[in-house]
Amino acid sequence: MMELFDKTIELLQRGIALSWFRHGLLASNIANVETPGFEPRDIDFKAELEKALRGGGIELLRTNPRHLGAERSQGIRILYRGDWENPDGNRVNLEKEAVELAENYLHYMAMLRILQRKLERLKYTISEGGR
């Protein structure tokens, strides 16, 4: 039986979800640039996407026990990084975070546009196929 959606659509959907999650981490890093002792967080995008495609899902990590629906979460592995340290122990390099955030945004928008085009083609095929 032929599948209606190819693997590209699934890959794009999962990539968009991971990119959205990563955006939140990077934005949090920037917001905490003045927080003493703060360590910037990130994910290994490629590794997490491969894991999601093998395992069948992207489950978000529960960072607070009061968050809903995270009991069945397998979690995204959060990486702590920081090759930079301020005198107060803060490890956020603002310039690096800004570059990472901009690159992540560009990847997110590119995946979104590709998915949009694929869905438009599918819609066209379905609507024209009945004529």
**pLDDT digits over 54-95, tens only?**
875 555 555 555 544 433 335 889 999 877 788 999 999 999
Structure tokens at 21: 């999650």
> H helices then E strands: how many in the chain?
3, 2
Q: Is residue 18 part of a domain?
A: yes
Q: Which helix (H) or strand (E) holds 42?
A: strand 41-42
**Other CB atoms within 10 A of residue 76 CB:** 21
| Number of structural domains in the chain | 1
Amino acid at 44: D
Q: Which pTM was predicted?
A: 0.78
42 beta partners: 79
Which structural domain range is residue 88 located in? 7-129
Q: Is residue 90 part of a domain?
A: yes
> Would you tell me the crossing angle of helices 7-31 and 45-55 to the nearest 10 degrees?
140
> Which pLDDT score is estimated for 69?
44
